[in-house]
Chain A
């Protein structure tokens, strides 16, 4: 849990935000509040409006509807005609392209925000040293910015963004230009850093792993609309709809029909499209058609019948894709296609008859209506 969260202070509040470009409604009816110290992530496929929302918070984009307030100060309100310019919002932002000024040294880049605030000279150098220390690149202070590697530029951009103590830190896909290995490393460092300086942050990414690992709150977006707002674990295990389910991890999505709740367990008995029955989490009225979503890693394969499980069926392995750390199987479950991701500590063969099961809490019954 993030200790810096102060539930009494609202850092960011967004009400019915909408952004329209000509005929295109890029963002529609977005609402959320963020407590001080919380890390929020906006995640979704490209074109879902996540960057637009971030830029609207920053003041780089002018929304067409709704309002934004930072620490109870309204910085944008379409109805009241309030639009505080970006430079007066006391925010900071890390850009996807890092936006390191190539005509300045690392020190000058980081000191920029402090100089604007007329901070005394010795205080500037103290703070810049502190910030560069935090990101571990103090030895590069006097380098010209273009001489740095991608990862180092990323760190300069970070140091520059928090050195002057902004109210909220905004991240626009900051890790997407790094190679896979560096990205994983920076993810951990970023988490440590934001926690340590205790800053409130809004993070934009299309990467579900970044979204889940870096945040207290996740908002999944699609086509400019919020699909789900919850903590990372709920987002993953209890997707609000099929879009979220498919976006967060690889999912099997099966048409089904509810046969009503089972006792008071919160589970439902559901008939799948191939006639088999399955116990699911979630409720729908009896006989109402729905969708069953199961993550491919939540399906387990055993060579023999494990006997003790509900939701256990015999399937045949149609194809096997050996990826290394894991293996991807495509199973035929009596006319239904199932995708299963299994760890590679054991292998099954194509054509082999196996037993496949899923825990009821890992099968989510979702409404057809999105």
Chain B
């Protein structure tokens, strides 16, 4: 093979032909220890709080006299408040339908149609993914307040000369609207990924036979991506069912309750009733579990679609004059989810009180001064949020990396069970989980973590496990198994393979997952609302507390602070990703 056969080669040859028998001796203790401890940790953090939740639902609270004797007290209360169940389901179905409609439309436009600024718009429409629905709700209560308060109402009334305000955010429809537009990125991401991995010849053959562009979209494209649609539908349904922020900001002040807001009242009110909260939480969990079950039944056992495999470059459809209409849809979407809500909050943050009448507006920096310098909670909340999110994201991703590696690479049968356990939190609304955690740790003497940041970290790690496992699984699946096997055959122990081959090659995916978990942790309100104490206050709860006690401009400043931190972290992550980016073959 080589051109030169030097003397040196010949000398070496003799040595090289004598096989040395095993110079390497590794006992794979590391792998066993890591696998075992991860398995135990994951099982405990998921199953223990859930078990406690079930126990607590049957433990009546003594303070309520009338039905205190019955262990079913919590469940009996649930029957009295069946209209909350109805509200929750109506809201969840409405939000899902809306998010799907937007998601499918945006996905089709941005993957198939020939429109200007496509790549740029694609980046824009997923921004709400990183914003919390709380921010959205806070923005929209100003945008669509009834009367001459809401910006949209003011504008529409002026243009059309109406005397009555046409929009009122303080309705069930308002809650559906905000949830729907903020969960749209979930359906958009899943469906557009499916559209991209779809063989374009399926569509082309339909066109060749003579079906039109839009007809093809309906009779060929839509059915092919049906699994992705169902997948995202159930995810959004569960997310909407468990959301607390939006119904808390829009519904609760008007007395319109859903299950999550009622649980919050049960736990944090003057007359706490844990068993009722737990019973309601369990029924929420049951609805979530039914959703997950339906999902896997409809998708024939695959409980999630990993978006991998061949990436096709679909031929873009020339939509002619339609392109102006089609390009306006993502623009309007970004306007209503990002630009308008953030805009009104920025505007309000500089005003003494919220108004859109320029003559009445009194500009001031007092709100910023108050939040940053006077309000004692701000600094604590920022510090705590950063600690919880950084440690939480790092822990989650480390656990999920091991878990995903076990799922994708090891042949141990029990790993399937572990995978199911790690997916369970997907069907448990975060707030429900936090009740379980409260019960689990409030009186647990061995590990006194209640009232510390650790319980917040633990809660976030658990509820975000499914997302971390998904991103890590998708990354590891794409990594050629032979790359690791080759190192192993050459003589590298498991730890060495992971350190020198796997981790360097998945660092991009790890970072992306870390960022996602970081943002989700920072934005988490439902789970944190019941767990924080005054010492462990975090930003999302601080915003919500402020909303209940203070003026809107101050709330706006605090909410913007949360958004700015996220933007900074995203920018840093992006820079790191670019710098240490590995070009994989």
Contact A133 B9 (CB under 8 A): yes
Other-chain contact of A92, B25, B490, B496 (Cβ < 8 Å) = B490
Contact B26 A97 (CB under 8 A): no
Dominant secondary structure of chain A at its interface with chain B: mixed
Find chain A residues with CB under 8 A from B504 CB. 103
Taking the closest CB of chain B, its distance from the CB of A70, in whole angstroms, is 8
The 8 Å CB contact of A87, one of B5, B9, B493, is: B493
Residues of A contacting B359 in the complex (Cβ-Cβ under 8 angstroms): none
Stretch at the interface among A159-167, A212-220, A314-322: A159-167
**Nearest chain A CB to B527 CB, angstrom units:** 37
**CB of A192 within 8 Å of the partner chain:** yes
B286 touches A (CB below 8 Å): no
CA distance A86 to B21 in the complex (A): 13
Q: Are B505 and A103 neighbours in the complex by a CB distance under 8 Å?
A: yes
Q: Is the CB of B493 within 8 A of A146?
A: no
Say whether B583 faces chain A, with CB atoms less than 8 Å apart.
yes
A side interface size, CB within 8 A: 62
Q: Is the Cβ of B491 less than 8 Å from the Cβ of A117?
A: yes
A145, chain B: closest CB distance, angstroms: 7
Closest residue of B by beta carbon distance from A90:
B22
Chain B, Cβ-Cβ closest to A70:
B21
Fill in one digit per residue for B1-31: 1 if any A CB lies within 8 Å of its CB, else 0. Answer: 1111110110011011111111111101000
Partner of B13, one of A36, A198, A200: A198
The complex places the Cα of A58 from the Cα of B585 at a distance, in Å, of 25
Return chain B residues, CB-CB under 8 Å to A145: 585
**Nearest chain-B residue to A62 (Cβ)?**
B411
Judge whether B485 is part of the interface by a CB distance below 8 angstroms.
yes
In the complex, A27→B583 CA distance in Å?
38
Q: Is A32 an interface residue (CB 8 A)?
A: no
Q: Is A175 an interface residue (CB 8 A)?
A: no
Contact with B486, one of A62, A88, A99, A165 (Cβ below 8 angstroms): A99
Nearest CB of chain B from residue A215's CB, rounded to whole Å: 18
Complex contacts, B582 vs chain A, CB 8 Å: 102-103
Q: A90-B20, A99-B483, A145-B585 are in contact. Are A192 and B489 (CB under 8 A)?
A: no
A113 at the interface (CB under 8 A from B): yes
Task: Closest B residue to A191 by CB, please name it.
Answer: B1
Known contacts A103-B582, A130-B9; decide if A88 and B25 are in contact (CB<8 Å). Answer: yes
Are B8 and A101 in contact (CB-based, < 8 A)? no
The verdict on A133 contacting B2 (CB below 8 Å), with A90-B20, A92-B489 known, is: yes
Shortest C-beta distance, A87 to chain B (Å), equals: 5
A140 within 8 A of B: no
Cα separation A95 to B485 with both chains bound (whole Å): 9
Partner of B24, one of A37, A88, A99, A138: A88
User: Complex Cα distance A197/B505, Å?
Assistant: 33
Whether A136 sits at the interface, judged by CB under 8 Å, is: yes
Query: Using Cβ atoms and an 8 Å threshold, which residues of chain A touch B3?
Result: 136
Residue contact A165 to B16, C-beta cutoff 8 Å: yes
Q: Which positions in B face A, CB cutoff 8 Å?
A: 1-6, 8-9, 12-13, 15-26, 28, 411, 480, 482-483, 485-493, 496, 500-501, 504-505, 582-585
Could you list 7 A-B pairs, sorted by A, with CB under 8 Å?
Answer: A87-B493, A90-B24, A95-B485, A102-B582, A130-B12, A136-B1, A138-B2
